[in-house]
Structure 1
Amino acid sequence: MSTSTLRGWRLRPATFEDVEPIAGIRASAMRPDLERLGRYDEHRVRQRLRDAYVPEHTSVVEAGGAVAGCVALRPSEDCCWLEHFYLAPEVQGRGIGTAVLAGLLARTDAEGVTVRLNVLQGSAARGLYERHGFTPEREDPVDVFMVRPPGAGS
């Protein structure tokens, strides 16, 4: 993923050294939804990120010179999976998530690639994804699995 600078923050390629700051951001960003679902575990929320972390597919969001979030776009057989999209609570609501998502989707649209993701039931992030053309594919008690064909929501 290329490095770009937009409105006081930037997106850069992830490194192995980013895993712990990102695990902490994941824990704080997901805590309210996981607590609401009765599934928050301080160790597990961090370990799940560590176990699935692949720097080659991940970009880090920096704001004010510090790690403020991340996003991964993992290629799969028939699509790309949008994963590990977290922003620290103190930088949420500034349009960063919208800009990051729009940039990734512009790239997948240009490549003609379908994008899939899952979001926790009741998460405010679902509205962001729906505004960008994602629709529910299936649900379970914890997750909503969503899909976006190339060009949807444009």
Structure 2
Amino acid sequence: MKAEISFKRAEFSDRPFLLALRKSSMDKHLHAAGLKLNDEQHLQRIDEFFEESFLIKYNNKNIGLVKLGMLTDRIHIRQLQIMPEFHNAGIGSKVVRLIKKKAVERTLPVTLNVLLENPAKRLYEREGFITEGQTELEYQMRWHLPQ
């Protein structure tokens, strides 16, 4: 059977999963950036732009989150998190390609920020994102529409 990726709008009842996901997928990178967040701080970040949150499902199992800001001048990937046991399985690439496809349909570029120490930066570079800026915490990256 072929593995299927699907999306489902996040609901308030998904917050425990989203907290576990955020801690397992982000704590190491946040710590490397000098940030140690408690559960309440993680939940504040989860609740920010909650209406833009979609669960990533793999064979109908919750394995991640994508939070997309659909802005007038671009699509902004606010968050993309996948459970560590599903890293390096091509799922992140598939999700990013689907976002790029949506961007082409809407003739919009895609932007995102990624922590300096997060190896996900390599995924974004493979998918054609370029670094346009950097703060003390993260890179600002952009994918431009093909000419």
User: TM class, shorter-chain normalised?
Assistant: 0.7 to 0.9
Out of 42, 46, 49, which is 2:46 matched to?
49
Looking at structure 1, the residues matched to 146 and 78 of structure 2 have their Cα atoms a distance apart, in angstroms, of 19
TM-score of the pair, normalised by structure 2: 0.87
Gap change, CA 1:51 and 1:73, over 3 Å in 2: closer
> If the length of structure 1 is used for normalisation, what is the TM-score?
0.84
Confirm or deny that 1:12 pairs with 2:8. yes
Identity %: 23
Letter in 2 for 1:40: K
Q: Which runs of 5+ in 2 are unaligned?
A: none
Which protein has greater RCO, CA pairs closer than 8 Å, 6+ apart? Answer: 2
Whichever residue aligns with residue 22 of structure 1, its letter is L
Shift, 1:88, TM fit? 0.8
The whole-number CA distance in structure 2 between the counterparts of 1:76 and 1:9 is 25
2 CA distance for matches of 1:98 and 1:137?
A: 20
5+ residue gaps, structure 1: 1-5
Partner-residue secondary structure (3-state), 1:26: helix
Cα shift readout 1:76-101 (whole Å, capped 9, x = no counterpart) = 23111112200011111111111111
- 1:53 alignment partner AA: F
Contact 2:3 2:59 in 1 (8 A): no
Partner letter of residue 151 of structure 1?
P
Give the count of matched residue pairs: 145
Is residue 120 of structure 2 the alignment partner of residue 108 of structure 1? Answer: no
Pairing of 1:130-141 with structure 2 (within 5 A): 130-141=125-136
* Aligned residue number for residue 29 of structure 1: 25
Superposed CA RMSD? 1.9
State the alpha-carbon separation in 1 of the partners of residues 15 and 145 from structure 2.
30
Contact 1:29 1:87 in 2 (8 A): yes
| Cα distance between partner residues in 2 of 1:102 and 1:95 | 11
Q: CA deviation at 1:64?
A: 5.1
> Residue 48 of structure 2 aligns to a residue in which SS?
helix
